[in-house]
């Protein structure tokens, strides 16, 4: 089975802080990580490979330093990694990003399954996966929490607001996964050593069959107009009485004074 | 549109470096350079003290005739024969946008035997309802719903489309936007009309809620966005209102659908539908053991609330993943959020920071959750919760 996994290198948003004086984002010292959901996507791919055999190729679009993220994926057990990087891709929104990744996938040629994380933690759009599937003209199943492959039939459990839906599809298919699908494996020492030695090919615009008008800022219908920090919450009321009874009584009183109840 | 630094003017003060949310500016040889991570948000433009950073307007080659596109559309998601709340919430917001733009508000209703729901759409302020009703559309399916909405867009050319940021809305919203070749702003929490241009301005959190971004879609139509459930209020329904029902024939055939829903496994109805919940009671590690989680559920029952859980609780197997609130779980925005025995790791806060009112109970007065809380009780959650539940019970029955 030929499996592709699309990953993104993201700032660890949990480590991002706001400078209280300038009210801007402090990015210095914020580590770059593989988007957590993409690790679940890779793990799902590796498990299918363990079971059915085949090859796992990881692709990422990003600046040259995204190679680090791809090396981590190699260390986890991916067979091959490709970075797609070009200044022409800069400022891409989801439509331009998915267009570029779809062109990359077309160049790779054969695939049975494409895995993505359900969304990236820096942008949270959950759009690039479905848009890649659309560009490629293949079917998709998003928010997948369980997957089984039998021949060319794929059976999954898809997360809904109220539960799970059992959905069947046929290869080729794009699947986006939620965190509960698995626990990503840790890189092995052998894997890490192999990853360190690996040369990761970098494909640029010239390597892809693309229309330049559809890349980067030019190919992005959406534009960021303004960035601002959300208003800080005003200081709350902290209640600490001698007994739980008293504390609850004070809370109820305050909620009722504020006409919340 | 791109951001350029006029190298001759740049004084290497570094002011732009610290305001760039994307880390896209580097200092080289005492001059600022914009790297490819730039999204042209313009945060640096206003900051530069010597006006060395400029926004370059670029002539775009756009084949689209925008004047053909009119009206604000709201996609109404149907779940088990009923409208999801988010659709009605969006009709309220859509009404404001349509009035502001001097255009009509229309609803899109796709499904089977759903004609009766059109009344609700009119009552919520819709001028028109586009109804595509067919047996093949009885269940949501990515392929059939994408094709149906795409067809409607191609024929009737709306200017704006609002959809709920539900799992299904996000599943086919992106596909439709891609097929049309337009922009889709995901997971918005604010909508407005940009005064200078008249475009819809879509505001959404990014970087785990650390920053907000306002996004526009200037040259492509329709302008599309998904909006988080329960951010906006449902409009008051007025059933005396009437509107125009436009029936559109479905072109979907069974073989067009490449995936098939075989079965639904309902884990819960109210309790894990956190996305649409008005009240959520969430429990964390402070509940100490799985048996104690019933205290959280008791309070939720009394309040008619959904039950949330921290990552620790889900990882320990006390609650299924559908209940997890936070960066790797669900993002919620209820009217009231109870955090019981949750310390408030930043990943958790990222998932619930848009709650209107936060009530926290924790024994550690220094727990970060108290920084987010409007009301906080410092105390043993196992002691406080049963009393709180009793009190709310009394209030309810009074």
Host H or E run for residue A114: strand A113-117
Q: How many Å apart are CA B160 and CA B226, to the nearest integer?
A: 11
Phi, psi torsion values for B374, nearest 5 degrees: -80, -35
Phi, psi torsion values for A83, nearest 5 degrees: -100, 135
The answer to whether residue B44 scores a pLDDT higher than 90 is no
Count of beta carbons in the 10 Å neighbourhood of residue B8: 7
Closest CA to B139 of B172, B178, B164, B177: B172
Contact B176, B4 (CB under 8 A): no
In the β-sheet with A2-6, what is the strand arrangement from edge to edge?
A202-203, A80-84, A55-61, A2-6, A113-117, A173-177, A139-150, A153-159, A163-170, B259-266
Taking the model in full, what pTM does it have?
Answer: 0.90
Q: Identify the pLDDT of residue B275.
A: 87
Contact A250, B388 (CB under 8 A): no
Q: How many Å apart are CA B44 and CA A24, to the nearest integer?
A: 11
Position B59 confidence tier, pLDDT thresholds 50, 70, 90: low
Q: Which of residues 315-374 of B touch A (CB under 8 A)?
A: 320-322, 324, 327-329, 331, 336, 345-347, 350, 353, 357-359, 365, 370-374
Mean pLDDT of B59-73: 81
Closest CA to B226 of B180, B149, B165: B165
Q: How many Å apart are CA B179 and CA B151, to the nearest integer?
A: 10
Q: How many Å apart are CA B137 and CA A186, to the nearest integer?
A: 43
Q: Identify the pLDDT of residue B37.
A: 76
Q: How many Å apart are CA A240 and CA B373, to the nearest integer?
A: 14
User: Residues of A with CB below 8 A from B259's CB?
Assistant: 139-141, 167-169, 173
Nearest residue in chain B measured CA to CA from A135: B178
Q: Identify the pLDDT of residue A23.
A: 65
Q: How many Å apart are CA A86 and CA A219, to the nearest integer?
A: 14
Count of beta carbons in the 10 Å neighbourhood of residue A195: 22
pLDDT digits (tens, 9 = 90+) for B145-187: 999 999 999 999 999 999 999 999 999 999 999 999 999 999 9
Q: How many Å apart are CA B292 and CA B321, to the nearest integer?
A: 18
Q: Does A32 touch chain B (CB under 8 A)?
A: no
Helical pair A189-197 and A67-76, crossing angle rounded to 10 deg: 140
Mean pLDDT of B355-364: 96
Inter-chain CB proximity A63 and B346 less than 8 Å: no
Among A60-64, B63-67, B142-146, B389-393, which stretch is predicted with the lowest mean pLDDT? B63-67
Q: Does B379 touch chain A (CB under 8 A)?
A: yes
User: Residues of A with CB below 8 A from B329's CB?
Assistant: 179
Q: Per residue of chain A (261 residues), what is the pLDDT tens digit?
A: 999 999 999 988 877 777 767 666 777 778 899 999 999 999 999 999 999 999 999 999 999 999 999 999 999 999 999 999 999 998 899 999 999 999 999 999 999 999 999 999 988 899 999 999 999 999 999 999 999 999 999 999 999 988 999 999 999 999 999 999 999 999 999 999 999 999 999 999 999 999 999 999 899 999 988 888 887 777 899 999 999 999 999 999 999 999 888
How many residues belong to chain B? Answer: 398
Report DSSP letters for A139-194, one per residue.
EEEEEEEEEEEETTEEEEEEE-SSEEEEEEEESSEEEEE-GGG--PPPPPHHHHHH
User: Residues of A with CB below 8 A from B395's CB?
Assistant: 252, 261
In the β-sheet with A223-228, what is the strand arrangement from edge to edge?
A223-228, B211-216, B200-206, B190-193
For chain B, report the end-to-end CA distance as a whole number of angstroms. Answer: 61
Nearest residue, CB atoms, A224 vs list B37, B213, B264: B213
Q: Identify the pLDDT of residue B346.
A: 85
The 3-state DSSP class for residue B21 equals coil
Inter-chain CB proximity A130 and B38 less than 8 Å: no
Q: How many Å apart are CA A57 and CA A74, to the nearest integer?
A: 9
Q: How many Å apart are CA A219 and CA B285, to the nearest integer?
A: 46
The residue with tokens 């760039």 is B20
Contact B341, B287 (CB under 8 A): yes
Count of beta carbons in the 10 Å neighbourhood of residue B81: 11
Report DSSP letters for B199-241, one per residue.
-EEEEEEETTTTEEEEEE--SSSSEEEEE-TTSSPPPPP-TT-
Position B54 confidence tier, pLDDT thresholds 50, 70, 90: confident
Query: What counts of helices (H) and strands (E) characterise chain A?
Result: 6, 15
**What's the half-sphere exposure (Cβ side, CA atoms, 13 Å) at A203?**
19
Q: How many Å apart are CA B222 and CA A78, to the nearest integer?
A: 40
Sign of CA dihedral B314, B297, B391, B358: positive
Contact B270, A162 (CB under 8 A): no
DSSP-assigned letter for residue A88: G
Q: How far is A32 from chain B (nearest CA, A)?
A: 12
Q: Identify the pLDDT of residue B61.
A: 54
The 3-state DSSP class for residue B393 equals helix
The complex's ipTM? 0.93
Q: Identify the pLDDT of residue B57.
A: 65
Closest CA to B338 of B313, B310, B357: B357
Q: Identify the pLDDT of residue B40.
A: 79
């Amino acid at each position: 089975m030929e499996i592709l996994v699309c990953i993104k290198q993201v700032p660890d948003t949990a480590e991002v802080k706001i400078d209280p004086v300038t009210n801007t984002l402090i990015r210095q010292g914020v580590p770059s990580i593989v988007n957590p959901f993409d690790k679940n996507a890779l793990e799902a791919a590796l498990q299918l490979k363990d079971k059915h055999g085949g090859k796992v190729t990881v692709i990422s679009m990003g600046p040259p330093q995204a190679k680090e993220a791809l090396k981590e994926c190699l260390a986890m057990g991916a067979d091959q990694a490709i970075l797609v990087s070009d200044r022409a891709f800069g400022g891409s929104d989801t439509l331009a990003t998915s267009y570029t990744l779809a062109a990359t996938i077309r160049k790779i040629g054969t695939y049975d399954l494409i895995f993505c994380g359900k969304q990236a933690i820096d942008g949270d759009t959950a759009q690039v996966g479905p848009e890649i599937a659309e560009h490629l003209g293949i079917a998709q199943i998003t928010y997948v929490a369980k997957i089984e492959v039998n021949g060319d039939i794929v059976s999954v459990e898809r997360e809904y607001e109220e539960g799970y839906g059992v959905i069947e599809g046929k290869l080729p298919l794009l699947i986006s996964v939620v965190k509960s699908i698995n626990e990503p494996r840790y890189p092995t020492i052998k894997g890490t050593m192999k990853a360190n030695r690996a040369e990761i090919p970098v494909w640029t615009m010239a390597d892809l069959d693309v229309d330049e008008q559809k890349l980067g800022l030019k190919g992005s219908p959406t534009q960021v107009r303004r960035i601002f920090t959300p208003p800080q919450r005003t200081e709350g009321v902290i209640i600490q009485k001698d007994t739980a009874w008293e504390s609850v009584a004070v809370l109820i009183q305050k909620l009722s004074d504020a006409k919340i109840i | 549109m791109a951001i350029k630094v006029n190298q001759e003017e740049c004084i290497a003060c570094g002011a732009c470096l610290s305001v760039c949310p994307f880390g896209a500016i580097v200092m080289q040889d005492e001059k600022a350079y914009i790297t490819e991570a730039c999204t042209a948000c313009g945060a640096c433009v206003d900051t530069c003290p010597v006006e060395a950073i400029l926004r370059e307007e670029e002539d775009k080659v756009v084949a689209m005739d925008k004047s053909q596109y009119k009206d604000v559309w709201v996609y109404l998601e149907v779940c088990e024969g009923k409208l999801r709340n988010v659709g009605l919430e969006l009709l309220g917001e859509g009404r404001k946008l349509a009035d502001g733009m001097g255009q009509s508000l229309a609803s899109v209703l796709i499904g089977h035997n759903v004609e009766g729901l059109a009344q609700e759409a009119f009552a919520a302020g819709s001028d028109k309802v586009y109804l595509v009703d067919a047996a093949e559309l009885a269940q949501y399916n990515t392929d059939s719903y994408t094709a149906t909405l795409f067809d409607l867009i191609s024929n009737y050319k709306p200017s704006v489309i609002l959809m709920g940021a539900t799992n299904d809305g996000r599943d086919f919203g992106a596909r439709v936007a891609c097929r049309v070749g337009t922009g889709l702003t995901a997971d918005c929490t604010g909508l407005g009309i940009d005064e200078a241009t008249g475009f819809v301005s879509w505001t959404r959190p990014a970087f785990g809620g650390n920053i907000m971004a306002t996004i526009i879609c200037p040259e492509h139509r329709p302008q599309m966005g998904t909006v988080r459930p329960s951010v906006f209020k449902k409009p008051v329904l007025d059933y005396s209102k009437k509107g125009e029902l436009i029936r559109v024939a479905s072109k979907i055939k069974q073989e067009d659908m490449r995936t098939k829903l075989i079965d639904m496994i309902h884990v819960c109805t109210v309790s894990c539908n956190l996305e649409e919940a008005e009240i959520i009671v969430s429990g964390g590690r402070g509940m100490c053991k799985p048996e104690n989680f019933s205290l959280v559920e008791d309070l939720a029952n009394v309040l008619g609330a959904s039950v949330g859980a921290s990552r620790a609780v889900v990882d320990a197997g006390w609650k299924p993943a559908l209940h997890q609130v936070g960066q790797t779980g669900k993002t919620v925005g209820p009217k009231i959020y109870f955090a019981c025995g949750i310390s408030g790791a930043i990943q958790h806060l990222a998932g619930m920071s848009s709650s209107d009112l936060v009530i926290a109970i924790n024994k550690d007065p220094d727990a970060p959750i108290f920084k987010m809380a409007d009301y906080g009780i410092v105390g043993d959650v196992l002691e406080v919760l049963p009393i709180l539940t009793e009190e709310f019970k009394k209030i309810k029955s009074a």
